[in-house]
Structure 1
Amino acid sequence: MKATAIREDTRARVEDALRDRFSQHTEAAEAYGAEFASLWRTAADHALGGKLIRPCLLLDVHHALTPDADAEHPPHAAVEIATCIELLHYAFLLHDDVIDGDLTRRGRPNLIGELAARGGTGDDEARLHWARSSAILMGDLLLSAALMGFSRADLPSGTRSALLDLVDEAIRETVAGEHTDVALSLGMLGSDLSTVLSMSANKTAAYSFTLPLRVAALLAGASPAADEALRRAGRHLGLAYQLQDDVLCAFGDHRTHGKDAFSDLREGKETAIIAFARTTSTWSRIAPRFGSAALSLQDTIGMRDLLRECGAERFVTGLIDDQLDAVRALMAEAEATGEISANAARAVLVSASRLEGRRA
C-alpha cells in the first residue's frame, strides 16, 4: 500500500476511534438529561473532521521507528493513545476559545458561537455566558477523558508510567505557555521577543509536536538519544507552527485558514510579529489602534500594511524558515550518528515539509 493510502487509513482509524469515544460519552450523558447529551453531540460535531496532525504524527513516526510493524494496522494501544492526544487538543481549543473570546473556528461558528446562536429565553449576554460556560465544562470533561484514556492504555506498567509523565509534562508546559500568553496580552508582563518566542513554543510545541514524537519513541522502545533528538525536533516544529498561525491571522486569507480575521490585532495578542514591530519606528503609528475591540476592517487592513512596511512579516517568516532548517539539520545529525533511523528522520522531515507554505 502506498504511503498516502496508509496515511488515509491511519486517519480513518483515528477518526473512527474519536467517533466511538464521543458516542460512548453521549450515550452516558443521556442519563443526565437531553441538554447535556446535546452538548456532547455538538462537541463531537466540532471535534470530528479535523486535520488530525498530532495523532498522525505519532503513528507515522512510531511506524518508522518499528521496522517490523504493519503500517496498515498500527497497534491498538498506539491508536488509542493517538486518539487521546486529539481529545487533549480539543480540550485545549475549547478553553483557548473562551480565553480569547473567539466565536469562530475552521471558517464557521465554534462550539461557543453555535450554542450562543441557538436562542432561548435569555438575552444575548446570558446566552453567551451559557455558551462559554458550556465550553469550559466540555473542555474539562475532554481533558478528563483524555487522561483516563492514557491511564488505561494497554501497556506494560513501566511504559504506562513513563507515558503519564510525558503527558503531565506536556500539559504543565502548555498551560504555562497559555498563562504567559494571557499575561503578555493584558500587559501584566513586559513584552520582548525572547519571552514571546518561549511562550509561543510552550503553548503549542509541548502537546502538538513534542508529545506525539516522544510518545512514538516510548512506544517503539527507542533509545534516550532518539527521545532527545525527537524532543528537540518537536520544539522547533511547534514554534514554526505557532509562528505560522500568527502570520496567517495577521496576513493570511481568513476564507482559507478559517480563523477569525485579524482577531490577534483586535485582542492585542503579543505575537512575534508585534514584538518585532515594537522595536521599529513604525510602532508609534500602530500602537494607538492595537488591541482595540472596536477596530474596523479598514483599521485592521491599515495596521496589517504597517506591519508589512516595518518588516515584521518578513522577519517572522524568516524565523519560521530558521525553525524548519533547524529540524532538517537535527534530523541529519541524528541519522548520521545512528540516534534514529533514516525512516524515522524521513517521517519527521515529511511533517516539516507539510508546514512549509501552510495556509490553513
Structure 2
Amino acid sequence: MTELLAVAHNPDRLDEQDVKDEIRKLFDSRSLRAGKYGPLFVSLWKTASQRVTGGKLLRPRLLLGAFEALSATGEHGRAFRAAAVRIAAAVEVLHYSFLLHDDVIDGDLLRRGRSNLIGAVLEERRAQRQVVRASADASADGRDLHWARTSGILMGDMLLSDAHQVFARESLPGPTRIRLLDLLEHTITESIAGEHLDVALCDGVTTPDLETVLAMTRLKTATYTFEMTLKAAAMLAGAARHVEDVVGDVGTRLGSAFQLQDDLLSTFGNASEHGKDAFSDLREGKETAIIAFARTTDRWQKIAPLFGDRELSATDAMQMRTHLSECGAEAFTRALVSDQLHATRSMLDSPETGIPGQLSRFLDQVVQKIEERQS
C-alpha cells in the first residue's frame, strides 16, 4: 500500500526519508542518554532502534500526503512543513509503542516476519545463558521470557512518552498545539479502549456479537491509523473546521475497512506476504467480524472446538479456514469492507462535504490501494 501513498520525490516536497531521519534522531538521542543507566538499558534502546525500522510508514505517509494536499488551500499553507514531518514521525513512534504492548498482550515473538523486540531480547538472553529452547531448566526459561516481555512493556511506555513530548514541544501556534495534544489524548484513549475491549472479547468477559466486534475494530485501529493522521494533517495545514470533521469521518471508514481487511488477510491471506504468524488470529481466539458471523451459522459447531487452540496445527487451521469461507463469513466480511469503501467514495465525490479536490484525489488513491491490498 506504499506506492500511491508516497509523496512524490521533489526537493520542495515531503519525503519519507525525512520521517526516518526524525525517528533515527529520537532513538540516537535516547540511546546516548541511556548510557547513564547502564549497559542493559543501552542494549534495550539499541534493539528497539533496530526493530522500529522495516515498517511501511503507513501513518506518516497518510499524514504527509494529506498535509500536502491540504496545504494549497489551508490557512497555514506549508508554513508548518517541518512540523508535519516531526509529528508524522511521532505518530510512527506511537504506533510502535502500541505494537510493543500488543505483542506482550498477545504473547507474540514475531513481527513483520522476524523477531520483534521481545523475541530479540529473549534470543539475546538465551544466547548469553547458552540456553536452547529445549532446555530442561523451565524456571530459567520462564525468567528469560518474563525479562523479554517486561522489556517490551517498558520500552512501549517510553515511546508513548516520547510521542507526547514531540507534540508538546513543537513550535506551533498555541491553539493548534493544544488541539493536536487533545487529538493525541483522544486517540490514545480510544485505542486503549479498543484493545481493552478486544481482550474482553477474547477472554469471554463480554458477549462477542457483531456490533461489539465492529465497535472494537473502529476503536482499536481506525482512530489512530486513519482518523488521527488525517485530522492532524488538517490542523497543521490550517484547513477549515468542517474539512477537519469530514476527513475524520472518512478516516473512521477507511480505518474500519483497513482493520477488517487485516482480519481477512490474517485468516485467508498468504503469511509470506502479510508477515504475521500464519493463523495467529485463529490460534489466539481473536474475535473478529469473521468469527462473529460464523457463530451465527451451523458451521460454528465444527469451528468452535479448534478456535483459540494454542496448539492449532496447520492442517486444522486450513480446515477452519474452509469452514469460515463456506459458511459465508469470508464473503460477509469482504462485503463490510466494500460497504465502507463505497461510503468513503460517496463522501469524496459529494460537493456537500467540501473536501478540497486535491485531498479528494489523494484519498481516492488510498481507497484504491486498500482495495488492492495483499499485505
Instruction: Decide whether the 8 Å contact of 1:18 with 1:48 is kept in 2.
Output: no
Instruction: Decide whether the 8 Å contact of 1:59 with 1:74 is kept in 2.
Output: no
Which secondary structure state, in structure 2, belongs to the residue aligned with residue 204 of structure 1? helix
The counterpart of 1:213, out of the listed 230, 245, 252, is 230
Which secondary structure state, in structure 2, belongs to the residue aligned with residue 155 of structure 1? coil
Rounded Cα–Cα distance in structure 1 between residues aligned with 2:79 and 2:118: 37
- Structure 1 residue 151: deviation in Å? 0.4
Rounded Cα–Cα distance in structure 2 between residues aligned with 1:258 and 1:71: 38
Aligned to 1:79: 85
Rounded Cα–Cα distance in structure 2 between residues aligned with 1:68 and 1:202: 30
The counterpart of 1:167, out of the listed 157, 167, 184, is 184
Rounded Cα–Cα distance in structure 1 between residues aligned with 2:110 and 2:10: 32
Instruction: Decide whether the 8 Å contact of 1:59 with 1:216 is kept in 2.
Output: yes
Which secondary structure state, in structure 2, belongs to the residue aligned with residue 260 of structure 1? coil
Which secondary structure state, in structure 2, belongs to the residue aligned with residue 59 of structure 1? helix
Rounded Cα–Cα distance in structure 2 between residues aligned with 1:282 and 1:331: 39
Report the residue type matching 1:5 in the other structure. H
Rounded Cα–Cα distance in structure 2 between residues aligned with 1:189 and 1:76: 45
Instruction: Decide whether the 8 Å contact of 1:15 with 1:49 is kept in 2.
Output: no
Range 350-359 or range 92-101, more displaced: 350-359
Aligned length: 357
Residues 1:339 and 2:345 aligned together? no
Output one character per residue of 1:278-314: Cα deviation in whole Å (capped at 9) or x when no partner. Answer: 0111001100111111111111111111111111111
Range 79-88 or range 344-353, more displaced: 344-353
Output one character per residue of 1:11-37: Cα deviation in whole Å (capped at 9) or x when no partner. Answer: 111011111111111111011111111
Rounded Cα–Cα distance in structure 2 between residues aligned with 1:261 and 1:357: 20
- Structure 1 residue 72: deviation in Å? 10
Report the residue type matching 1:340 in the other structure. I
Report the residue type matching 2:168 in the other structure. S
State the Cα RMSD in Å: 2.0
Aligned to 1:58: 63
Rounded Cα–Cα distance in structure 1 between residues aligned with 2:343 and 2:152: 37
- Unmatched tracts of structure 1, length 5 or more: none
Rounded Cα–Cα distance in structure 2 between residues aligned with 1:245 and 1:63: 27
Residues 1:45 and 2:50 aligned together? yes
Output one character per residue of 1:58-109: Cα deviation in whole Å (capped at 9) or x when no partner. Answer: 1111111111799999711111111111110000000001011111111111
Instruction: Decide whether the 8 Å contact of 2:77 with 2:238 is kept in 1.
Output: no
Rounded Cα–Cα distance in structure 2 between residues aligned with 1:357 and 1:28: 43
Residues 1:350 and 2:365 aligned together? yes
Aligned to 2:132: none
Rounded Cα–Cα distance in structure 2 between residues aligned with 1:36 and 1:148: 20
Residues 1:5 and 2:9 aligned together? yes
Rounded Cα–Cα distance in structure 1 between residues aligned with 2:10 and 2:349: 25
The counterpart of 2:331, out of the listed 307, 314, 323, is 314
- TM value normalised by structure 1: 0.95
Query: 5 Å matches for 1:1-360?
Result: 4-6=8-10, 10-67=15-72, 75-118=81-124, 119=126, 120-121=128-129, 123-333=140-350, 336-337=351-352, 339-360=354-375
Which secondary structure state, in structure 2, belongs to the residue aligned with residue 5 of structure 1? coil
Instruction: Decide whether the 8 Å contact of 1:55 with 1:86 is kept in 2.
Output: yes
- TM value normalised by structure 2: 0.91
Rounded Cα–Cα distance in structure 2 between residues aligned with 1:6 and 1:30: 38
Instruction: Decide whether the 8 Å contact of 1:324 with 1:352 is kept in 2.
Output: yes
Instruction: Decide whether the 8 Å contact of 1:196 with 1:270 is kept in 2.
Output: yes
Rounded Cα–Cα distance in structure 2 between residues aligned with 1:228 and 1:108: 38
Which secondary structure state, in structure 1, belongs to the residue aligned with residue 145 of structure 2? helix
Rounded Cα–Cα distance in structure 2 between residues aligned with 1:357 and 1:274: 23
Output one character per residue of 1:116-142: Cα deviation in whole Å (capped at 9) or x when no partner. Answer: 122134722111111110000000000
- Structure 1 residue 357: deviation in Å? 2.4
Change (3 A) 1:229 1:341: same
Which secondary structure state, in structure 2, belongs to the residue aligned with residue 198 of structure 1? helix
Change (3 A) 1:100 1:172: same
Range 340-349 or range 203-212, more displaced: 340-349
Rounded Cα–Cα distance in structure 2 between residues aligned with 1:50 and 1:71: 29
Rounded Cα–Cα distance in structure 2 between residues aligned with 1:74 and 1:166: 17
Rounded Cα–Cα distance in structure 1 between residues aligned with 2:7 and 2:264: 30
Find runs of 4+ consecutive structure 1 residues off by over 2 angstroms.
2-9, 68-74, 120-123
Instruction: Decide whether the 8 Å contact of 1:223 with 1:339 is kept in 2.
Output: no
Instruction: Decide whether the 8 Å contact of 2:8 with 2:15 is kept in 1.
Output: no
